[in-house]
Structure 1
Amino acid sequence: MKNNKLVMIMLIILITITLVGAVAVVVVLKVTGAENTAGPTIDELLEYSVDIPEITTNLAGNDFIRISFKIQTDSKKAKEELEKRDFQVNNIIIHTLSEKKPEEIQGSQGQKLLEEELKEKVNELMMSGKVEKVYITGSLLP
C-alpha cells in the first residue's frame, strides 16, 4: 500500500515536471517566433535602401511636382543594382508621373497607389533581388 502511494506521488511529480517543461518550450518558441516575424530593424532598412533625390517634372496637364523617394530593397546586392540603375528608376518615375493628374496623387490613398505602382515597375527591371517598399520622402504640388 505504501509502495503504491509512493509510485503514485512520483508519477504525479513526473507528469507535473513534463507539463511545466512543455509549457516553457511553447512560451519560448512563441516569444522568439514573434521577434523573427517583426520584420527588419531600422538599421537593416537603411542598409538596403536607396535615396532618390528630388525630381521636378510635369504632370498630365499644366501642373508640375517636386518629389523625392527612398526605395527599400531586400538585400545588399539589390541595393547595389538599384544604385547602378538610378537613371532607369528616374525615367520610370518621370514617365509614371507624367501620366498622373494632381488629384490622382493627392492624399494618402493616391500616394500609396503611386508608391505601389513605382514598386511594381522598378521590380520589372531588377535582376538580383527586389524592391520591398517605395517611400515618398518629400513632395510639393503647386
Structure 2
Amino acid sequence: MKKMLPWLITILLAITLIVIAAGFLMNLMNKPDSGNAAKANVETVAEPQMMSADEIVKVTSTIDDVKTNLSDPNYVVVMNFAFQLDKETSKAAFDKIKDYKIKPIIIKTLADTKPEDLTGAQGKDNLSSKLLNLINKSLPEGKLIQIDITNFIMQAI
C-alpha cells in the first residue's frame, strides 16, 4: 500500500488538472466573438423591408450636429444620424421627443465610447446597433428599424 500511495496521488492530481483545463476551455469557447457583437445586439430588430424613396423619406428622421467628447477627453466627435422607423406615426412620435429624449441617449453612449471603438465600419455598426437597442426602449410607439451615420468627424484636441 505504501508503494501505491505516490501513484494514487499522482493519478488524482493528473485527473484534477485535466478537469480544470477542460472547464477553462469550455468557458473560453462559450464566449461570443467580438466580431459578432453587432449581430448579437440587433437580434430582436426586424430587417427593413424594401421601400420606395418616397416611403423612406416619410419614415426617416434626422438628428444633425451631435457634438460631444468621447470617453478620452482629448477627442471630440461631430455626428449626424438618420433614423428609419417602421411607420409614419412612429416618425411623428419620434420627432416630438428626439431633442430631449433621443439626443441625450446618443450623447451618453458616445461619452462612454473610446476613440478606437469608432474606427472603421465595424465600429460604426456596433455604435448603431447599440443605439438602436437603447432608443427602441424609450420610444413611446412603433419601432426603430435602422440607424445610419450620415456624417462623422472625430478630432483630437
Q: Please give the TM-score of this superposition, normalised by the length of structure 1.
A: 0.72
Residue of structure 1 aligned with 2:53, choices 31, 42, 46: 42
Higher helix proportion (structure 1 or 2): 1
Q: In structure 1, what is the equivalent of residue 68 of structure 2?
A: 57
CA distance in 1: counterparts of 2:49 and 2:108, whole angstroms: 35
Amino acid in the other structure paired with 1:99: D
After superposition, give the CA deviation of every residue in 1:74-115 in whole Å (9 maximum; x if it has no partner).
001100111011121100000000000111011000000111
**Bigger Rg, which one:** 1
The whole-number CA distance in structure 2 between the counterparts of 1:90 and 1:129 is 18
**What RMSD over aligned residues (CA atoms) do the two structures have, in Å?**
1.3
Which sections of structure 2, spanning at least 5 residues, go unmatched?
1-47
**What is the CA-CA distance between 1:127 and the residue it aligns to?**
2.5
Residue identity matched to 1:72: Q
* In 2, Cα distance between equivalents of 1:64 and 1:99: 13
CA deviation profile, 1:10-47 (whole Å, cap 9, x unmatched): xxxxxxxxxxxxxxxxxxxxxxxxxxx96112211111
Superposition pairs of residues 110-125 of structure 1, within 5 angstroms = 110-125=123-138
Instruction: Measure, in 2, the Cα distance between the counterparts of 1:38 and 1:91.
Output: 29
Secondary structure class of the residue paired with 1:61 = coil
Aligned-partner residue type, residue 110 of structure 1: G
1: distance between equivalents of 2:69 and 2:141?
Answer: 32
Q: Aligned pair count?
A: 106
